[in-house]
C-alpha cells in the first residue's frame, strides 16, 4: 500500500493552483476506458469541480493524496475503496470531511487522487498530525485492502520479492539490505534460521550478487558484502531512466529512434520539434514532461519546470525546449542597447526596422524584449522610469540567468506553432514553415519530424510560388517582401469574417496604437498564431493572445495594440503579457 501526501498552503501557491490541479487529475486518457477522469465525492459519481474549487478559495490550505493499493488491478472499481478509506479517516479525525477524487488507470499501478479541503465541519482549519498522514492513513488503507482482497499469501510475497532480485531500480530488497548495513558492510553469515528465514536470506544474497555485477557492491568474504554508499541514488536514477524509456517507446510505438533526455541543468542546446506526448512525471507535485520528436531525428524527453501548465501544450504543436537558466538573447540585446544604464524602446525599434528587412515584425520583436523587462521588473532587477524607458543594471545578464534558474529548475517551452505541420503547407497564414524556408536545412534529421519537415518545406515553397508570394532564383527560394505581414493580414480577415457570421457582430480591425476595451470571450488558433477575441458595443477585435490573459476570460480588459504585440490593463493593475 502506497500513500503519498502533500500539504498545499494556498497563499504560497498560484491563484489558479486548485483549478489547475483539478484539470490535471481529470485529464484525458486516465480512466479505465481511456477517457477523461471522472471527479467523484462521498455521495456522488459526478462532482462539480467548479463549485468545489470556489469553496476552497478562502481556505488556508488543502491536502492532496495519491492512494495506490498494491493489488488495485484486482478491484473492478476504486471508488468504493476510496469512500471506505475516507469514511474511516473521517471517524479517526472526528470531523466531517469535504473531498473529491479521481481514479487513474493509465499506469501499471492504478491509483486515486484525493483533494481534501483544509477546513473541518466547524469551519476551522483542518489539522492532521504528520504521524497519522505518514503511518495511520496507510495502515487504515491496508486494513481495508486486506478485508476486501484477503491477506497476501506467503507464496505471493516470495514471488513478488523474487522478481526484485534482478531489477535495475531501488527495490524493497534494497531497503532491507540498507537496514542491515553497518559501516558500509552487510554480514549475512547467519545460523539457526528457520526455513522462512533461510528463504529470505537467499533472496538478499541473490540481490547482493546482482548488485555486485552492477558494480554497486563487492563480496569481501563468504556471506559478507561491501555496498557502495551511492547505490540507492544510482538505482533510483536507473529506475527513473528505465521508466522514461518505456514512456518514450509507448509514445513512438514501432519506430526505431535514438532517445535523448534533455538536461535542463547542463549545457543542452535548445531542441525544436513536434510534441508527440505529454504527461506528469510527478503526479503529486504536478511536474510535467514532454516527449518531443526533434528536427534532429531524435526523440527527446524533457522534464518541465514546476507549475508549468501542460493544458495549452497540445500534441502536434511545434515547440522549442530550452534551458531556463541559459543566458537569454533578449538580455544581451537589452544590455548592448543600453546607454548609461538606460534602455529605450524607441531606439531599439528604429534599429530593428533597419535590420528586419521584411523577415520579421520590428514592433513585435521589440515588444518581446519589453515583456522580458516586465518580468525582470517584477523581480526587482530593472526599473521602468516611464513608458518605453527602463533603467537596467550593468550585470543584467548574470542577474537574468539567476532569475531564470530560480523560476524554472527545469526545461522551458516556447510554442512556435499551435498548428500541426501538415496543415501549414497550403494555408494562407504566416506559418512556422515560412520562417524556416530561407534557413539552413543541414540540421534536419532523416527520420521522424526532421524528415517530415524537409518534405513540408518543399510543399510550402511550391504553394507560395503558386500564389505569387515567392520565386526561385539560382536554386534558392526568395520570399516576397513583407510576406509574413501579408499572410497574417489575409488569415485574420478570413477568420474575422467567419466569426462575424457566427456571432452577428461587426469586426473592428485592430490598428497599431489602438486602445481596445472589451470582454475577453475566447481565443482563436490560426497558422499566424493565437488571438484573443475582445467584444464590446462596437463589435469585436482580434488581438495577439498570451497565456496570462486566459484566467480573465469573461472579464473586461483593455488592450494597447503595438504591431503584432499587445499590452494589457486589468482593472487598476497594468502589465504587459508574457
Does the pLDDT of residue 14 top 60, yes or no? yes
Q: Are 361 and 485 in contact (CB under 8 A)?
A: yes
Summarised one tens digit per residue, pLDDT across range 533-575 is 999 998 999 999 987 788 788 989 888 887 777 777 765 433 3
In angstroms, rounded to a whole number, what is the distance separating the alpha carbons of residues 451 and 99? 49
Q: Which residue has the higher pLDDT, 320 or 160?
A: 320
Does the pLDDT of residue 577 top 50, yes or no? no
Exposed e or buried b for every residue in 515-526, given b needs 16+ CB within 10 A? ebebebbebbeb
DSSP-derived secondary structure for 40-73: B-SS-SS--HHHHHHHHTT-SEEEEEEEE-TTGG
Cβ neighbours of residue 341 closer than 8 Å, sequence gap 6 or more: 391, 392, 393, 394
Name the pLDDT band for 578 (thresholds 50, 70, 90).
Answer: very low
Q: How many CB atoms within 10 Å of residue 289? A: 23
Summarised one tens digit per residue, pLDDT across range 21-51 is 888 888 878 888 888 899 999 999 999 999 9
Which of 170, 249, 250 is CA-nearest to residue 210? 170
Does the pLDDT of residue 358 top 70, yes or no? no
Arithmetic mean of pLDDT, 289-307 = 89
Longest dimension (CA), the chain: 91
pLDDT of residue 417: 94
Does the pLDDT of residue 151 top 80, yes or no? no
Share of the chain above pLDDT 70, in %: 92
Q: Chain-centre distance of CA 112, in angstroms?
A: 21
Summarised one tens digit per residue, pLDDT across range 69-101 is 876 666 778 899 999 999 999 999 999 999 999
Q: Are 262 and 302 in contact (CB under 8 A)?
A: yes
Name the pLDDT band for 409 (thresholds 50, 70, 90).
Answer: low
What angle do helix axes 154-164 and 172-180 make, rounded to 10 degrees?
A: 80
Q: What are phi and psi of 478, to 5 degrees?
A: -105, 120
How many Å from the N-terminal Cα to the C-terminal Cα in the chain?
A: 43
**Which set of grid coordinates corresponds to residue 31?**
480512466
pLDDT of residue 82: 93
In angstroms, rounded to a whole number, what is the distance separating the alpha carbons of residues 392 and 376? 10
Summarised one tens digit per residue, pLDDT across range 438-454 is 888 888 888 899 999 99
Burial (0-12, 13-18, 19+ Cβ within 10 Å), 445: buried
In angstroms, rounded to a whole number, what is the distance separating the alpha carbons of residues 364 and 288? 30
Comparing 81-90, 137-146, 221-230, 335-344, which segment has the lowest mean pLDDT? 137-146
Amino acid at each position: 500500500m502506497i500513500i503519498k501526501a502533500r500539504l498545499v498552503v494556498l497563499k504560497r501557491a498560484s491563484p489558479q493552483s486548485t483549478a489547475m490541479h483539478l484539470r490535471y487529475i481529470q485529464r484525458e486518457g486516465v480512466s479505465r476506458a481511456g477517457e477523461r477522469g471522472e471527479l467523484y465525492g462521498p455521495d456522488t459519481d459526478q462532482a462539480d469541480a467548479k463549485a468545489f474549487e470556489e469553496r476552497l478559495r478562502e481556505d488556508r490550505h488543502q491536502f492532496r493524496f495519491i492512494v495506490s493499493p498494491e493489488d488495485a488491478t484486482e478491484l473492478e472499481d476504486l471508488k468504493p475503496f476510496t469512500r471506505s478509506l475516507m469514511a474511516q479517516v473521517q471517524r479517526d479525525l472526528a470531523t466531517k470531511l469535504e473531498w473529491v477524487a479521481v481514479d487513474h488507470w493509465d499506469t501499471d499501478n492504478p491509483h486515486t487522487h484525493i483533494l481534501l479541503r483544509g477546513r473541518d465541519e466547524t469551519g476551522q482549519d483542518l489539522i492532521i498530525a504528520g504521524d497519522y498522514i505518514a503511518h495511520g492513513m496507510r495502515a487504515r488503507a491496508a486494513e481495508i485492502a486486506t478485508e476486501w482482497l484477503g491477506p497476501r499469501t506467503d507464496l505471493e510475497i516470495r514471488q513478488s520479492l523474487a522478481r526484485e532480485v534482478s531489477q535495475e531500480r531501488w527495490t524493497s530488497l534494497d531497503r532491507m539490505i540498507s537496514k542491515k548495513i553497518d559501516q558500509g558492510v552487510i554480514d549475512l553469515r547467519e545460523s539457526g534460521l528457520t526455513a522462512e528465514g533461510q528463504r529470505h536470506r537467499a533472496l538478499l544474497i541473490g540481490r547482493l550478487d546482482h548488485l555486485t555485477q552492477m558494480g554497486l557492491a563487492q563480496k569481501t568474504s563468504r556471506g559478507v558484502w561491501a555496498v557502495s554508499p551511492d547505490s540507492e541514488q544510482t538505482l533510483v536514477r536507473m529506475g527513473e531512466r528505465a521508466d522514461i524509456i518505456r514512456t518514450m517507446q509507448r509514445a513512438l510505438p514501432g519506430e526505431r529512434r535514438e532517445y535523448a533526455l534533455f538536461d535542463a541543468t547542463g549545457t543542452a542546446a535548445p531542441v525544436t520539434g513536434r510534441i508527440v506526448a505529454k504527461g506528469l512525471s510527478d503526479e503529486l507535485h504536478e511536474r510535467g514532461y514532454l516527449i518531443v520528436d526533434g528536427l534532429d531525428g531524435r526523440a527527446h524527453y524533457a522534464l518541465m519546470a514546476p507549475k508549468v501548465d501542460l493544458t495549452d501544450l497540445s500534441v502536434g504543436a511545434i515547440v522549442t525546449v530550452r534551458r531556463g537558466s541559459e543566458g537569454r538573447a533578449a538580455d544581451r540585446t537589452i544590455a548592448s542597447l543600453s546607454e548609461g544604464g538606460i534602455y529605450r524602446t524607441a531606439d531599439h525599434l528604429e534599429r530593428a526596422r533597419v535590420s528586419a528587412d521584411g523577415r520579421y515584425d520590428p514592433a513585435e520583436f521589440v515588444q518581446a524584449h519589453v515583456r522580458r523587462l516586465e518580468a525582470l521588473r517584477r523581480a526587482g532587477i530593472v526599473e521602468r522610469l516611464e513608458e518605453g524607458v527602463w533603467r537596467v543594471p550593468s550585470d543584467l545578464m548574470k542577474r537574468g540567468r539567476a532569475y531564470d534558474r530560480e523560476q524554472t529548475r527545469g526545461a522551458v517551452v516556447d510554442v512556435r506553432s499551435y498548428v500541426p505541420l501538415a496543415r501549414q503547407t497550403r494555408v494562407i497564414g504566416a506559418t512556422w514553415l515560412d520562417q524556416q524556408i530561407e534557413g539552413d536545412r543541414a540540421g534536419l534529421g532523416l527520420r521522424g519530424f526532421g524528415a517530415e519537415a524537409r518534405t513540408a518545406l518543399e510543399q510550402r515553397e511550391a504553394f507560395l510560388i503558386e500564389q505569387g508570394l515567392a520565386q526561385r532564383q539560382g536554386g534558392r527560394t526568395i520570399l516576397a517582401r513583407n510576406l509574413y505581414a501579408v499572410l497574417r493580414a489575409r488569415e485574420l480577415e478570413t477568420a474575422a469574417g467567419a466569426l462575424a457570421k457566427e456571432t452577428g457582430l461587426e469586426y473592428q480591425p485592430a490598428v497599431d496604437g489602438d486602445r481596445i476595451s472589451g470582454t475577453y470571450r475566447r481565443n482563436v488558433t490560426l497558422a499566424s498564431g493565437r488571438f484573443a477575441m475582445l467584444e464590446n458595443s462596437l463589435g469585436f477585435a482580434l488581438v495577439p493572445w498570451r497565456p496570462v490573459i486566459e484566467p480573465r476570460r469573461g472579464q473586461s480588459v483593455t488592450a494597447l495594440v503595438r504591431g503584432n504585440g499587445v499590452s494589457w490593463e486589468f482593472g487598476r493593475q497594468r502589465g504587459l503579457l508574457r
